[in-house]
Amino acid sequence: MLQEALVEGVLRRALQGGADFAELYVERSRRRRMTVRNGRLEEATSGLEYGAGIRLFFGVEVVYAYTNDLSPQSLLEALETLLRARGEAGRVDERGAGGLDFRKEAPRGLHAPRIPLGAKDKRYRLERLLEAEAAARLAPEIRQVEASLQEWEQEVLVANTEGVWREDLRVRTRLFVLAVAQDEKGVQTGYAAPGLSLGLELFDLYPPKTVGEKAARQALTNLRAKPAPAGTMPVVVGNAFGGVIFHEALGHLLETTSVAKKASVLADKLGEEVASPVVTYIDDGTLPHAFGSSEMDDEGMPTERTVLIEKGVLKSYMVDRLGSLLTGYRRTGSGRRQDYTFAPTSRMRNTFIAPGTTPVEKLIEGVEYGLYAKELGGGQVKPGSGEYNFAVQEGYIIRKGRLEEAVRGAMLVGKGPETIRKVVAVADDLKTAPGMCGSLSGMVPVEVGQPHVLVSELVVGGKA
């Protein structure tokens, strides 16, 4: 995407200016979004994003610049602005005198799509969206349906003063269906949103009709649901997107971004038992075609499978370059960023609880009175205190070991390190699901996952 001589020139100038390390990140992305509503294309947008980020380390001080004018003049000017910000302008260190010997590595195509962004015309996409939209109109109570398709093709180059020159091509596709159901008592919503690191073959893996029906059924379930009860009770959390609870309550606490500053309650706890012994927690950036997978992270390091917690014992954090510099922990290929406008930080990729041995039915049978949180919505956490919350998108009451009436509007709240100790059983039905995770370095695609999990007690926020 950029001439080698220009990349080398920028990086060498950074060393001359006194930087201990310099990195150039270049990105060209094409995005397309189509939205269907009321049986017709409501809106379509296409975009081309193109820019570069320059990151310099002076010890553990980081300076970052980005621009989307990629002319040599503009890139060197951005660099000089950075050096000026530190009072290093005009300095010429001999470290930058020698040439850089790049070890060039091209993408291996591990997550390459069979049907790329350029294939098939827009009408083909529109027809699939119309199928999903029509399928969601299951009942007269379904008043509104919105189906949209997001396609993202991201070409990335990372080059640094250690001789790294690595490129990656990431293609991601996601289908969203939102259904709104209404009766005389009120309005409820349901949604389904499969997404993977691949192209339009997503439609073969998740037929639009099935996705549309799933969203509609959830909206209808919520329509007949009663308000959730309030109080502390045992909760069985569903598999797949249910894993968002531990993404929030545990995953964010294991990123060096907060660990290095001791701004996480789980800092300095390697080797200690931090979770119930039934919990093994893994972050895997290599899962083929998973939404959070890529061949390399955004610092040019190959991704890997990182076991974070094994049988309750903390084994590793998620570590980026700066985090490694600050803590001494080994880098785990976890440096990620939304795009060139962000410097990378340590982030999750595809994070899940490993399967246990208990059949799902047994989990529910053991509960006298509690909540089955089948599908979860989004949530939030404060890593410094571990306090988290997340919304239950589809929930049911468990009474005497049996699933009974649907309830809506429940919010689960707690403190991560406490909750993870209260996991008393893990089922054998691991599944993962895609999502977008927001943090210091922007919104990045991830997967969350788990088998069904029984938590002995959680605060359920419903109607008191």
Partner 1 sequence: MTPEEAKAFVLQEAKKRGIKAELLFQEQRERSYRAFQGRLEEAKEARQRGLGLRVEVEGKVGYAYTEELSPEALAWALEEAQENALLSGKEGFLPPGAPLGRHDLLGEGLSAPPEAKREAALALEAALREDPRVRVAQGGYQEVEAQVALASTEGAEGAYRFGVAVLLASVVMAEGASVKQAWEAEFSREFHALEPGRTALDLRQKTARLLGARPLKTGRYRAYLEPEAFISLLMVLAPMFSAKEVLDGKSPLMGRLGQRIASPLVNLVDDPTLEKGLMSRPFDAEGTPSRRTPLVEEGVLVRYLHNSETARRLGQENTGHAFRTYKGSLGVLPTNLYLAPGSGVSPRTGVLVTEFMGVHAGANPVTGEFSLQALGLLLEDGEAHPVENFAVSGNLLELLERIEGVGQDLTWRLVGPFALGSPTVEVAELSFAGA
Per CB under 8 A, contacts with partner 1 among 197-256 are 228, 230-232
Q: Does 436 bind partner 1 (CB under 8 A)?
A: no
Q: Does 6 bind partner 1 (CB under 8 A)?
A: no
Q: CB neighbours of 20 closer than 8 A, spacing ≥ 6? A: 57, 58, 59
Neighbours of 164 (CB within 10 A): 18
452 Cα distance to chain centroid: 20
Helix %, strand %, coil % for the chain, to 5?
Answer: 20, 45, 35
Query: Considering beta carbons, is residue 236 or 371 the nearer one to partner 1?
Result: 371
Whose CA is closest to 435, among 261, 233, 291, 259? 291
Part of the chain binding partner 1 (CB under 8 A), chosen from 75-83, 98-106, 205-213, 359-367: 75-83
Q: Does 460 bind partner 1 (CB under 8 A)?
A: yes
What's 463's DSSP letter? B
Answer for which of 61, 204, 368, 405 binds partner 1 (CB under 8 A) is 61
Residues 294-323 that bind partner 1 (CB under 8 A): none
Q: Please name the residue that has the structure tokens 């691991």.
A: 430
* E strand or H helix at 165: strand 164-183
Answer for which of 189, 276, 332, 450 binds partner 1 (CB under 8 A) is 189
Q: Does 71 bind partner 1 (CB under 8 A)?
A: no
Query: Considering beta carbons, is residue 117 or 403 the nearer one to partner 1?
Result: 117
3-state secondary structure (DSSP) of residue 260: coil
- C-alpha to C-alpha distance for 337 and 26, rounded to whole angstroms: 12
Answer for which of 2, 6, 62, 112 binds partner 1 (CB under 8 A) is 62
Q: Does 463 bind partner 1 (CB under 8 A)?
A: yes
Residues 387-406 that bind partner 1 (CB under 8 A): 387-391
Part of the chain binding partner 1 (CB under 8 A), chosen from 8-16, 120-128, 269-277, 355-363: 120-128
Q: Does 73 bind partner 1 (CB under 8 A)?
A: no
Q: Does 462 bind partner 1 (CB under 8 A)?
A: yes
Paired with 307 in beta bridges are: 282
Answer for which of 114, 262, 311, 330 binds partner 1 (CB under 8 A) is 262
Q: Does 382 bind partner 1 (CB under 8 A)?
A: yes
Whose CA is closest to 292, among 280, 304, 284, 300? 284
Q: Please name the residue that has the structure tokens 């939404």.
A: 291
* 3-class DSSP string for 123-191: HHHHHHHHHHHHHCCCCCCEEEEEEEEEEEEEEEEEEECCCEEEEEEEEEEEEEEEEEEEECCEEEEEE
Least separation, in Å, of the C-beta of 362 and partner 1? 28
Kindly state the tokens that stand for 134: 């029509």
Q: Does 50 bind partner 1 (CB under 8 A)?
A: yes
Number of residues that bind partner 1 (CB under 8 A): 79
Least separation, in Å, of the C-beta of 81 and partner 1? 5
Part of the chain binding partner 1 (CB under 8 A), chosen from 288-296, 362-370, 374-382, 424-432: 374-382
Query: Considering beta carbons, is residue 294 or 419 the nearer one to partner 1?
Result: 419
Q: Does 379 bind partner 1 (CB under 8 A)?
A: yes
- C-alpha to C-alpha distance for 69 and 388, rounded to whole angstroms: 40
- E-strand spans in 89-141? 103-105
Query: Considering beta carbons, is residue 31 or 315 the nearer one to partner 1?
Result: 31
Residues 129-158 that bind partner 1 (CB under 8 A): 143-144, 146
Whose CA is closest to 358, among 304, 424, 408, 427? 427
Whose CA is closest to 250, among 460, 395, 455? 455
Query: Considering beta carbons, is residue 82 or 308 the nearer one to partner 1?
Result: 82
- C-alpha to C-alpha distance for 172 and 447, rounded to whole angstroms: 13
Part of the chain binding partner 1 (CB under 8 A), chosen from 36-44, 274-282, 303-311, 359-367: 36-44
